[in-house]
Structure 1
Amino acid sequence: MLASDLMAAFWRPLRKMVKEHGVPRTRLCRELGLGASGLSELLNGKRAKAPSWDTVRTIVTACDEASQLEYWRTRLTELETELERIVPGRREEQPGTADDRDASADCSVCADEYEDERFRASVRALVGDEWQIRSFGAATRVLASRHPVLRRDAETLVEDEVESREDLAVFRDRFEDIARRMLAGLGPRVRQACHLHRVGLLRAAHTILLLEGSVRSPSLDALWTEGRAGGTLGMEDLSATALGDGTLASGTLPITDVPYVDHRARILAHYESAESWGDDENPPAAAEVSTAVYESRLAEVAAECPELLVWATMLDGPHAMRGLDACPKGEAREHLEALYQEVGAQNGGLDGLETLLRALTRQTTPGAWPARLSEIYRHELNRPISPVGEADDEPSPCIPRLSEGYVNPAFRVAVHSPHGMPHVDAWWSSRPLSEEIQGFLAAYLTGFPTVRPLIVLGDPGAGKSLLTRLLAARLPPEDYLPIRIELRNVFADADILEQIRQALRLATLMDVTWATVTELSDGVLPVLIFDGFDELLQASGADHWRYLQDIADFQEASARNGLPVAAIVTSRTVVADQAKFPDDSVIIRLEPFDGTRIARWTDTWNRANASYFRRNRRKGLAPLRRDLGAIYPDLAGQPLLLLMLALYFSVEQGAGPARVDHASMSRVDLYERLFRLFVRRQITKLEPGLRPRALEERIENELDLLSVIAAAMFNRGSQGVSAEEADHDLRFLRAPDSRTACPEARLLFGRFFFIHEARATFEQGADRRWYEFLHATFGEHLVARKIARTLARCPDGGPHDGLLFDLLSHSLLTDRAQILDNLRDLLSSWDAVRPLFPTALDERPAESRTGYTARPARVTHRHACYSANLLLLALAPGQVVNFSELVADAPDPAAHWTEHALLWKSQLPSDSWDAFTRAVGSVPQRAVFGALEGRRDIALCLGRHEVPDTVSRAAWVLDPTEKETAPDMDDQSSSSDRWHETLRRARLLYDRDVELLLEPALPVFEELDELTRTCSVDQFGRGTSVAHALVTLMVCEAAPARDLMTRYKTCLRALDGSMGPWAEERLVALVAQRLVGESDRLPRDFVSDTVWTLARAWAELRPLSDRDERTPLHLLSVACRQLARACDEQLAVAAARLLALDAGQVVSDLAIDVAGEPPVPDVTTTHDVLARLHRRVQTRADPDARALSGLRLLKLAVALDQREWCDAYGTQVLDTMDAAGLDGVLPSEAEYVRGVDGRRASDE
């Protein structure tokens, strides 16, 4: 760029400011001391040197823009800096050979010192996000930097404003012309540029294409339709709307919150979002137009620059071929079709990643260090996917090479946020599943990922390390500098730079530094691949909470120094909560293989071992079945475990005299065969001359050693153990009859393929190791195996009893449900538990004490775990076990169960207790045989809860046999306070479960105290408290709900005189209150019986009085409504009792034939019933009784809304009452009657 161009660009906005503010030139000439020609030369940027600050300040102040002084001071400083850089000079000589410098000079931008510095300055300007092009101006600075005329035209376009449809048409034509000039010759420029500059060119070009779609959008036309005032529109406004935050224009990373369909769907969704700002009535249709324009232009540019289409549609992988229909026929289209056909056929070994990246790679000789490291890593492609089976003396299957045996996995993507939970499987299940990991990685690496690391998570054996080996091998050295850092082999306490140096030394066998490698690698993107971050977290014992943030900080510092760096980190999913993830970092999780991938992997295995299977056909060996995933879903989904299955079936299938149907094998049988196979292979490799018996003893010893480590993990509630913990447990938990010396953990684990060793090394030379099984089910099988074999030797009153206590006294078996499932197959009966359980809570005898402890624990906790686990062992075979069988000598099994259960609940962690209660089902019952016959007992089983948790157990608890201990229900001296004492005893525990259960029931104890200590009997003869029966009725749905009448009857059975008068009164009142609201929906006979029972009880409890008695009113309301529909002697008698009338006379008055003949139905309305009852009341001789009966009848009429009756008799009833009787009339009732009287007076 020429100095004159810089000066013109600086003075143009100042000249425009002077013109817009109308500043007289004579004034400027006077204040600047210039003549007219000198001022014109100055404002038109014709001078060679930058102006002084006084000159600029004078002009800005004259325009009344003092607030812009700071901005113009910055602009002047930038101009002075730019002018200094244009002075001819040579770059500092970089260390290296001439060939190295020539390689970087192949990039036309790198060759231009000024342009290269401008690019690197933009990279140094990173502030917390990827370098993104967010405006037309930003794209212009990249694409038109060497063309001053084009740049000036573009800047003019930015300054213009659109105010009408005519202006819009001119604007579109100018934009299209400038866009085509910018994109002309893009192909050669891209192919000649280095990685840094190529990505910048592609991003800028993609920005222009996106803007072209928006410029041609119908939504812009809608701004100036008839009747609308469109206002003004500028290029910057359009850019802000069309480009948003710049993510889509600047890169091809996927949208992680929604499933990625294809590139076109993403572009369409982007335009739909952008179109919503306009006034178009149909944004989707406008978005379709914009998308069509974008596709057409992309295809047109792809004819000259196919790299742009490849880059933009990277995530589509081979499916991008669908977008070639719009691409003109020719050499470029043929090239793209061949490319996508090749990628479509590449679904393993990440070879499609290399194909996509090479489609964007410049044709040049790579630098010395990128080429050397790439060659080192590419050797991995021909190595086996696993070292298992190497160096075997006996013929064995061939392990596929990494380039062939790696099947590209599916994955899920997320962007980390402060509330993210990447360590939780359920959190990932809500993320969309993606299939094209090759396209994703290619898009990520070409999207300038230089601010935050890409984090790759997965389960053990998911292939994370294989992925890093392939990544390092597949990156083209022309554009990338891969450095793979195995964190287990570098110092855990070193900084990032030192860890990189150590990784380079391990790879190259040279003491080479990061600076040396990068200085000789101009124009490429360094990619740091950190493998095994979980090993630092688990094995080092140090705090690595900020390690991922340290990597991000290293990336940012490197970018600010002009060297962008990409970083990729792998880790196990379950430890992801032990580190701080940089905000907005991209995370992917590798998914287990599905059936298709398992079949693809088995095909690869069978091809690699075709000759092996032919040679061993007579032994019964056959190629692997393609449906292993359906047969062994827990194992076949993980690549490393799938390899174990393949080795097993390829060796063991023909080892015996008769073939085994592997599809019908139990899990326990399969795991036992797998372990024995691999242990046998390892032992025979180390000691090939062992006799068969000695070999079997060695196999059993090795399996016992492995079981000890599995038990160590189980006892600590962990999926892994440190080397120190493993060595500790190996001294205590080996089989008592073992005759071999105890090896160190590191020597033991080095022999086994199915154990993962995490290692962290420190600068002092020490290292820490952490061990875990490749799959959790391996450890669970070994724990079950160890427990079953130890239990078979118990009780011996010595070492085996002590070993069993050590195995079962730290964690509950229900914490790992799979252990119990395995024990179901390993234990045929629970006979061995019978002699152990009665003494489980006793002090351990001296001869069975070992002194072992896995972690600090109270004695009570260990005995609680031990006894609970013995119960689980008794239930494991699947039989129903009565607790009385476990405590045969106990006089009261129920009391012993309570003692044990309270101990378990108090000592076990809450989550363990919860898992235990979910696993153990119980049913209260009576012992049916033996010395305990008739006593309360509890039937126990695993996994079945046949009695709902809401079923009452009060009858079982409160109805002991003579030899059992229970509260005395007939002890009146303590009865009044017994339930309060029960509450006091229960709440003294301050137990969370007790308080949560009691909280809704506390009002019942407060209001219905006596009902809680009285029993009723349901229709099945089961006892329950009256309070329980009443609450059950009160919360039942309205009639005709199922079991509603049964609940009524249970409450009515309690009215047998066993309760005190207060309790009986409360019961009648509440049942009547419920009945009055639904009697019309219940059977008539049932209502008649219920009213009869309640009325009889109430009449005995309460004599007729002037008190506000809602209960008799409820009952009378039901009776009168029913009598108005049909004659019913029982209801008539009930009504007579409630009104203190003669029952026979009331029956007669209501025309009910007591002899059983059909009555004459002349009583047809509620009014008739009330009228006849009133006449009978008036016949009472006692005036006080007549007044009280009349008062209740009046209240009943009001309650039934009988205005006609009140009109006829209301005043008469009131006239018969004295002052005391009138006090019993509620204000609302008096108002109701007075309203009747008032209407009658007005009518008269």
Structure 2
Amino acid sequence: MNVQELHQHAPASPEITPAEAQAAVEAYAGRVRVSYGRLDLEVLTPLSEQNEHPVVELREVFVTPWVRADPPQVELPRELMKRLVDQGELLGSGDLPPGTDPTRLHQIREAYRQRPPADVLEVVADPQVKRVVLLGDPGAGKSTLARYLALALTGPGPLGPLAALKGWLPLVVELRLYADERWRERTFEDFLEHLHITEGMSVPTAVLQDRLYSGKALVVFDGLDELFDPRVRAETARRIAAFAARYPETRVVVTSRVIGYQRATLDGADFKHHMLQDLTERQIAEFARRWYANACLNDSAQAAQLVRRVTDAVSHSRPVRELAGNPLLLTILAIIGRRQTLPRDRHGVYRHAVTVLVAHLDQDVKHLKGQPGSEAWEDLDPDELHDLLRLLARSMQNGSSGIAGNHIHVRELETVLFGYLRDYELPPMKAKAAARAMVDRLRTRNFILSRYGGEVYGFVHRAFLEYLAAADIAHRYKEDREWSPDELIEQVFKAHAGDPSWHEVLLLVIGQLSERDAGPAIDCLLQLHRQSPAEDNSMLILAVRALAEVRKIGPLAGQSHAVVDALIQAVGGISFLHAGGELSAALPALTSFSEYWSGRHRYLSWFLVSGQFKANLDWPTRVAGALCRTPVIPAALAMYAPEPVVRGQALSTLTERWWEDPEVRGLVLDRATSDPDDVPRYIALAALAQLRSENPEVRDLIFDRAISEPDNVPRYIAMGLLARHWSEDPAVYTLILDRATGAPEEYSRSRALELLARHWSEDPVTRALILDRATSDPDGTPRSTALRVLAERWSEDPVTRALILDRATSDPDGTPRSTALRVLAERWSEDPVTRALILDRATSDPDGTPRSAALRVLAERWSEDPVTRALILDRATSEPDRYWRSRALELSAEYWSDDPEVGALIRDSVTSEASALSRSAALRVLAKCWPEDPEVHALVRDRASCDPHDSSRSTALELLARHWPEDPDTPALIRDRASCDPHGSSRSTALELLALHWPEDPETRALIHDRAANDHDVEIRLDALRLWAAEATDEVRSALHERARCDGNEAVRRGAVWMLAWGWPADPLTLPALQEMAVTDSSEDVRSATAQAVQAVEAILAGGEFF
């Protein structure tokens, strides 16, 4: 402790000598360390762990929060507030609770935008701000901050912003103690003298007076909200103002909750107001690192694992992330996360958090006496309070807006509470008064409810509503026997699975069910997935997440295999492009499965011998990466996988999950520059920037690649990453400004213009440059981008509209003309000139791209106009370009599928259209819009064998498998085409469909074996061999050895080599066979690939993870 510096301002007073003052300050500092040094975790720690959690020092785990100046007061659910503030998203009326003023929200959004967050320690130490009020929610860390300030300023040399206050005397006045009646007529100075005498938590009066008058003191009045009587609270605020006036040089900080705070008194005393903000994900991660480093002092590996458990849960679970922004709830999360798996065990976190807030926060944490009128509340134990909140959640989910709405009128709220109290035989008048008091308490003290306006309330944290609604359903099923098992499936899971706002509730319900009940629920979700359109994987994702909620997953082996088979079908299907990024929501659940989960082996076996060879699809690798438990397989894939996309995605997985491993870090940084293909290089760069942007080494690497990378795409991507993550760096701005005109390739120039508009739109140089490039760039892509960003950023400028109107007809390239037409429709659709121009360009533009763009915006903006419909139907047959003709056909079905003329046109196009592309488009439209029509089914079946072009036959086969898989004739027809279709692409499509949809069918397996040996098309033979290899039998292993040595085609030999390497690395025959072939094969390409496969096997064997 730097007592000498702390004491140097002590008075030369006749009442106390300098030595005595120094001793007094030193004694006070010691008492501060004893009183505030350790966190009191008893109330926050579940009873089952009371004796297990180590001591945690406040200074070791404190993470500095941010504040915003003079915040507007608003009560909104946390999820909506986050969207409003973090994303700048003004909510639609459908998102807002009744009584919420959209105009007020707009003002709030602007206020937050104009007042960026600041470090709270910088605010406290700011020499220009002597008086500060820090507002915050319950659990936001107000009292913790007060204690930290006392510890830091009485400890050895405060660092960072607090260094400016070195030697100052910190004093904390806990207003809940000062509120005692014996201090009603006494001053704060008297109270501090009392603390000095009785507890040693102040200094003698002579020292105190000297510090206060000299301005070398920081006084924190903590907990103004903890004075329940409004009159006492107002009087105390006046006393604080008077105290600040008596000591104008002393720094004064006041903390209070937001709700109930009246700012007029302290505003008038020149106090500046700031609001503590929720912790960011980076602050949460820093807290987790500090917490577990302290809690696991002798086990850094366990600490790292626990940190990853918390940070992964925060990153991937919206409800957990919502709670973790609050320091109190984050602390509970960290305590429980030491023994439980997150987010799977979040149910226990929620229950304990709710219990702390409603039953312990005021009484046991703050040691506050009950509020007036709270007797009924005090009489309820934690379980009874939990039951009451369950009923409240039930009432809300049964309301007009359901679980999505998160709001309830005060009358209905009081009715629920009144009914519960009446069950305890409380007299009606008392029950009514108690219900009103409970509503106020849940809002003002317990941080459970918010009031939105117009007497409408909702849960502050949606996570608590979802948890309580799930707890209510589980209670009604298990305790009240309200539903039979079949009724639970029908009335809860099947009835609500289609509503995304119910998904978290259903997952929490499954986590509370037995395996016997959870299995049918997952079966139900899989059945709903099979009934969904091919492009919709939401039910599959929900099934994966539901399976991850089950604790004892062994009895659900059937569901595990069914989920994995559906996942393989989704990521490996011919039409996987429809699956999109939505499957990312399933990755955290897949990561949570243990290494012994049977589905893990099933998927990885398929991926290693078959799935990784799907052409340019990254999702099979992403799913595999989620299922790996060590970096061994991803590292081997990153180095040796023959497909570039697989190597790239493996690098991304390594960056996300094992960055702390020095070998992994070295591998990723090396391959980001040295991989022979550009795809892994740019995927690695993107992963590094997204996941490790705080690392200076990463920034330097990406800056270097934006300049020196030899290939266009990695340079283009590196430039975007620099702007996204380091836009404050002047060197980044200079580089991108240069690239906007100086990059040799058009896509880099285009990207630079887009980045300038997104990150530096306030700079007048940006607008001038973009205006110039809209006409002067020699290539169409940058000109097109310039037009688009001008419309996005400067649409109010008449020059912008005039320029875009001109370029819609005068630009020499079709792409800028298309862009001009689109932005005219988006920004100026009300102008008659816009519609007339677009109608004209739909037929008169000499290029098909603008003509199609014109048709699209006509349908989007003016689909009700008969002229639009007539024009698009005409272009579906008369458009000279076959590709754009097919797009017009799809548009007609998208907007007018109920029109008999449209249906007839599309049916006719299936057979009469000369272009195979248009016939395929017509088939897809028919199957999508009229799958229940027997004539459509018959027509698709006919085209699967009779269409003259292989692409249309393949489309028909795919549609049969997707829309009519239950028809027994479907697999029979597809089997026929797999062997009899004259074109290889159609046979390949049929074979793939059989393996995806009917993998267990003996006829499918027999056909795959036959094609692997007998098809005259090399690619089909190789594809069939990969499908067969996924069975992982001794028979196929022997066949692969035979093909690797003896097949007459080098592509098949090379493919067999890789399948042996990835699928059977631990087999004693594999490595010797590959080593021999690396020397003896007649093809140099095969020898080279085999030598690489040998390295992959050796790496896997060294790591000890294989399947």
TM-score by length of 1: 0.27
Q: Which has the higher helix share?
A: 2
Q: Which has the larger radius of gyration?
A: 1
TM-score by length of 2: 0.30
